[in-house]
Chains A and B, each alone.
Chain A
Amino acid sequence: MLRVLGLTKEYSSTLACDHVDLSLLEGETGVLLGPNGAGKSTVIKCIMGLLRYKGSIEVDGHSNKLESAKRIMGYVPEIPALYELMTVEEHAEFIRRAYRLDKSGREYADELMTRLELQDVRKMLGKELSKGMQQKVSIMCALLPRPKMILLDEPLVGLDPHAIKVLKNLLVELKANKTAVLVSTHMIDSVSDIWDRSFIMVKGRIVKTCTKAEIADQGESLENVFFSVTEDPA
């Protein structure tokens, strides 16, 4: 579903990503781990086509910058930012029109609003919502087009425990529906029960890729592997 080859991104004199290779299969959940400033968000933004880069990124066989690729991608940004003068339901309606979804999109929007507990605030403007609520709307917008692949950049920051549980359940459902998921986070605990493949980044490079099965075979935990790699990157 996702194939990233030799992704390199340089900001002025800083190398944010250095020959990053990663891939995800249909229905697979990948976690992009790393300390602050490792380059996780840059990788996500490159995949979403927001940045220039060297290398190649393909989503379901399409170049990520094409409309055909964007149509099947969902994105939950690190900082939720909604249109201040649009209500929650108007955000959903905008997404429905932008992704050319049929009328069933409205029903799905209703369903998502119910699950994410947004029904009470559906008539509220973006600027009237708390940070946590904005994050929920952001998640709803990403899920609404029923993407084949979804990228979540630190999605749990700002959510209350109940919302975290709801989001985890949604991610499990996405997995069951063969959606590829890539979650960037530095909160390892939060993804321990949903991941299939992990990519650990340090200083712009992926220093370790492993699957859940591999780690289980070694009798290790993801947390231990993460610390062993990040505390001694050599």
Chain B
Amino acid sequence: MSALPYLYFTCMKNAVLQLFRKPVVFLFGVFWLTLMILVVFSANSSAGTLTDQRFLYMQAGSFLILGFISFSSFAKGLNQGSTFFSMPDVNILFTSPIHPMKVLLYGTVRQMGVSAIASLFLLLQIPNLRNFLHLGTAGIFGVISGWFLLLFCNQVLSVSVYSLTAPFPRKRYIGKTIMYCTIGLLGLWYVIYILWNGGEVSSLFRFFGQTALDFLPVVGWTNAYVMHMAVGDYPYASLFLTLMIFLPALGILMMKRSHSEYYEDVLQTTENAFHMKLALKDGKASGRNLGSKVRTGQSGIVGKGKGASTFFYRHLTEHRRTGWMILEKSSFLIVGIAVVAGLIFRNLLLRGEISILSVEIIAACGLGYILYFFTITGKFTQELTKHYIYLVPAENTSKIVFANLSTVLKALYEGGIAFLAFTLICGLPLWYAPLAALLYTSLSQLYVSVSILTQRVTGTASKLFSGLIYMICAGVLMIPGAVLFVISMILLNQMSHNYTFVAFLISASYNVSISALVLLFGRNIFDRMES
């Protein structure tokens, strides 16, 4: 076996062996495998057909998700660079007498593997795809393979775009201009289309069904492939599949033409990624790449605070430098999701396909669920990875309060804006916005308390073990509150819908009490970095 296959298969073999060497990793693997098998086989295979309405929603949702991922990937490629090589590749592989083209092919094949693994989580969505979208087996295959192709295509194109433009600032400028102009033109077209159709709600979704959009590289192709697979139109699906395969192949060929010069292009990005990983291991970084758009000027807050409150002011400064006031990019994403969800639910409410009670429950639970993913990388969790909070001479309780305060405020503002937009769009009772925001904020505290409880239980145990415990703690702390919320909503609604606001207060009180209890018992968390 020659060197590159040896490298690839040895790493793969060792990755599998690792599963058996570490009981926690093995259990985790078995857990996921069982879950996937159960999900795949338990999905109802005769769950109706894909209606026009659902098709429209799926098409629009799919286009927006794929568009967002592709835009992020291209923007990263043009701004910071992208790589599918690792630091050992640079140190060992790039300096060896192996032809650069072979090295490039090796990187590409490995990236395909990474994209395939990243697509596996979609298997867990099979029941949702079947039950809510009524997709058949071919449609589900289309979604999963389309997702895989998009991830792979984006990564290869991101690397090749960077490689082709990095040495030439003018080319990079042209690349960025083309990208932003395309987005701008699409936005303009969208607005004109809606106005042309008299602002009808359904035109918000019908826009994405236009044939011209299918020919938008990568995003349009993938969407067209997925949608044609969903309706069983295989010849068209094959056409777009061919385009999806052709483009990354072209990117690789263009990189090949640069001979070994692409080494330099990926070197810087690979080194940055490696240093970030090292810093993460040492607890010196949060794992969030702040990119180049960090405003370093005075924010009016620097230097404020004493003792534990300095953490709060530092968080405020960081928020101002990387976002807008206390809000971050994730806040805008949450508000955007609330707006889009609002438009969809408004349509369903108008058609009488869903009750107000269901909309209220789904929106509160849905946004609360999304918040979970942003809170686990929030300021408090980041603070725990650095040594400062352990060393500052202040009361543990005040450290917890101040290290948490910015998270509370952010959730309050973010939830307030998101639920206000949702309430107004859907025409829900006005009390819904502040109470749902309150519930949302209380959930952010519950998530933080899950982090604290996990740290208390696992200490410096492996990340995987901590991850497992995190999931268990999250379940133990959150499920009672969620059940309490849904049951009280239903019961109170049976008396009168006007009373349902009490359910929000009950659930928020539960979240706050449990969080306070965990924070009280976990306040010694700062006594030492390891438990």
List the interface of chain A (C-beta within 8 A of B): 12, 45, 48-52, 65, 67-68, 70-71, 73, 75, 77, 79-87, 90-91, 93-95, 97-100, 125-126, 138, 141
Contacts and interface: CB of A to CB of B under 8 A. Distances in A.
Interface residues of B, number: 32
A67 B94 CA distance: 11
A83 B10 CA distance: 10
23 contacts: A48-B95, A49-B94, A50-B94, A50-B263, A50-B264, A51-B264, A52-B167, A65-B260, A70-B95, A70-B97, A73-B95, A79-B91, A81-B86, A81-B87, A81-B91, A81-B274, A83-B86, A85-B18, A86-B7, A94-B10, A98-B93, A125-B14, A138-B91
Nearest to B15: A85
Chain B interface mostly helix, strand, loop or mixed? helix
B66 interface: no
Interface string B53-94: 000000000000000000000000000000000111011111
B96 interface: yes
Nearest to A90: B10
B274 A98 contact: no
Contacts of B86: 81, 83
Nearest to B18: A85
B263 A141 contact: no
B14 to A, nearest CB: 4
Contacts of B261: 52
A86 B14 contact: yes
B96 A95 contact: yes
Interface in B246-303: 259-261, 263-264, 267, 274
A87 B7 contact: no
Contacts of B98: 67, 98
A129 to B, nearest CB: 12
A82 B91 CA distance: 8
Given A50-B95, A67-B97, A141-B92, 10 more contacts: A49-B263, A50-B94, A51-B264, A75-B91, A94-B10, A97-B1, A98-B3, A98-B93, A98-B97, A126-B88
Contacts of B1: 97
Contacts of A82: 88, 92
A91 B226 CA distance: 42
Given A51-B264, A94-B6, A125-B14, A81 B88 contact: yes
B274 A79 contact: yes
B7 A94 contact: yes
Contacts of A49: 94-95, 260, 263
A99 B97 CA distance: 6
A161 to B, nearest CB: 24
B99 interface: yes
Contact of B3 (A12, A77, A81, A94): A94
A86 B93 CA distance: 14
Given A87-B14, A138-B91, A98 B264 contact: no
Contacts of A98: 3, 93, 96-98
Contacts of A70: 95-97
A95 B97 CA distance: 10
B95 A86 contact: no
B123 to A, nearest CB: 24
A94 B98 CA distance: 12
Nearest to B93: A98
B8 to A, nearest CB: 10
Nearest to A93: B6
Contacts of A52: 167, 261, 264
A44 to B, nearest CB: 11
Given A81-B274, A85-B18, A98-B96, A50 B267 contact: yes
A79 B95 contact: no
B285 to A, nearest CB: 16
Q: Which 7 A-B pairs have the closest CB atoms?
A: A81-B87, A98-B3, A97-B3, A70-B97, A85-B11, A67-B97, A85-B14
B42 interface: no
Nearest to A97: B3
A50 B10 contact: no
B259 to A, nearest CB: 8
A75 B91 CA distance: 8
Given A70-B97, A81-B274, A97 B6 contact: yes
B46 interface: no
Pick the most buried of A71, A81, A95: most chain B CB atoms within 10 A of its CB.
A81
Nearest to A48: B95
B274 A99 contact: no
Contacts of A87: 14
B2 interface: yes
Contacts of B88: 81-84, 126
A185 to B, nearest CB: 18
Contacts of B259: 65
B292 to A, nearest CB: 12
Interface string B145-180: 000000000000000000000010100000000000
A53 to B, nearest CB: 9
Contacts of A84: 88
Pick the most buried of B86, B92, B169, B261: most chain A CB atoms within 10 A of its CB.
B92
A215 to B, nearest CB: 32
B121 to A, nearest CB: 22
Contacts of A50: 90, 94-95, 263-264, 267
